[in-house]
Structure 1
Amino acid sequence: MNKYLILCVDDEREVLDSVLQDIDCFEEYFLLEGAESVAEAKEIIADAQAEGTQLALILCDHIMPEQTGISFLIELYDDKLTTKAKKLLLTGQAGLEDTVEAINHASLDFYLAKPWNGDEIRDTVKNLLTQFIIENEPQPMPWAQALDTEKIFNAIAENRISFGE
């Protein structure tokens, strides 16, 4: 069932490990990967796509050595293979102007400031993944156990009504 990827990108290994640990509850249903650079993240995405795994969610830091998180998120949004992925900016250093750019040009779905709370990041990830599955998965029922059951059941019911089943 791991045909969707959750990718965390942060150049600080301790932060990356902490994020991955906070959201490892989704690992049973999603492929969970971490990258310490945008270049590594691009390799992970390319490898996943080659195996038929789609990027569902990216959690990305903003300030990184070779490319900012926001410019990377814009790049992902502009790519037809990754445009549908939910995008979460996780940073303590993006200013208002940067954040507005991410919202306007990268279709940023959520912003969390560092330091974050474990429950807050899990709830946010769960909500974003639920939205992604409802929007992109033709058979969302198997995902109800790991995500927001009520929202998935409501989406299934709405589709039945709209299709006249």
Structure 2
Amino acid sequence: MEQLLILCVDDEREVLDSVLSDIASLSPPFTIDGAESVAEAREVISEFEAQGGKLALILADHIMPDELGIDFLIDLNHSSNNEAAQKILLTGQAGLHDTIEAINRGGLNYYLAKPWSAEELLSIIKEKLTDYVLNYCDNPMPFAQVLDGERIFNHMAQHRLEMPNT
């Protein structure tokens, strides 16, 4: 089974811990990690990739001391290793211009304003991860139990019917 990472980045430890708690039910099969800075997030991604894993989803705050979350998402979107990763901006401080930049240049898949509800956050992440596994995993079945199982089963049934007989 493919090793997939969900990475949450927020410089406020209390917020980061809350997000990690809200999505803990996705592990396993996903590896969930947190970072308090963009530099730390880059290290986590690099170490995970060195072990053969892939970044499936990143959830980033916008206003952080060393680098803006949107700039980080744009960098990831221009990286061949991480372009496919689902990118979610979770912030209460991004203006319209910054948000448009994230959408146009950062491959932003979703914008979620603070404060969020745990149910809404988990639902959005499940939807985006389901998109990811259907598009980029050879076998999405191991993820069906924690994601949108109905979509995964329908996708697999449809693709099985499309396979040529051998």
Q: Normalised by the size of structure 2, how large is the TM-score?
A: 0.96
> In the TM superposition, what are the counterparts of 1:1-80 in structure 2 within 5 Å?
1=1, 3-80=3-80
Q: Which amino acid aligns with 1:113?
A: A
Distance 1:163 1:102 in 2: 37
Map Cα deviations across residues 85-142 of structure 1 (whole Å, 9 max, x no partner).
Answer: 0000000000111111100001100010000000000000100110000001111111
Structure 1 segment 118-137 matched on structure 2, within 5 A: 118-137=118-137
Contact in 2 for aligned 1:2/1:30 (Cα 8 Å): no
Aligned length: 165
Corresponding letter in the other structure for 1:37: S
Q: Distance in 1 between matches of 2:18 and 2:143?
A: 25
**Distance in 1 between residues matched to 2:132 and 2:162, nearest whole Å:** 20
Deviations 1:63-90 (A, max 9, x none): 0011100000000000000111000000
> What residue is the counterpart of 1:110 in the other structure?
110
Question: Within the alignment, does 1:95 sit opposite 2:92 as a pair?
Answer: no
Equivalent AA in structure 1 for residue 46 of structure 2: A
Q: Mind listing any 5+ residue stretches in structure 1 that lack a counterpart?
A: none
Q: Is the 8 A contact 2:29 2:142 kept in 1?
A: no
Structure 2: distance between partners of 1:76 and 1:40: 14
For residues 84 and 158 of structure 1, what CA distance do their matches in structure 2 show? Answer: 23
User: Can you list the C-alpha shifts for 1:4-61, whole angstroms capped at 9, x where unaligned?
Assistant: 0000000000000000000000111111000000000000000000001100000000
User: Aligned partners of 1:113 and 1:98: how far apart in 2?
Assistant: 13
Deviation of the 1:155 alpha carbon: 1.1
Deviation at 1:158?
2.1
Is residue 2:115 matched to residue 1:153?
A: no
Give deviations 1:145-165, integer Å, cap 9, x for gaps.
Answer: 111011101111221233235
CA distance in 1, matches of 2:3, 2:47: 12
Alpha carbon RMSD of aligned pairs, Å?
1.0
Whole-angstrom CA distance in 1 between matches of 2:113 and 2:2: 28
Q: Identity percentage over the alignment? A: 53
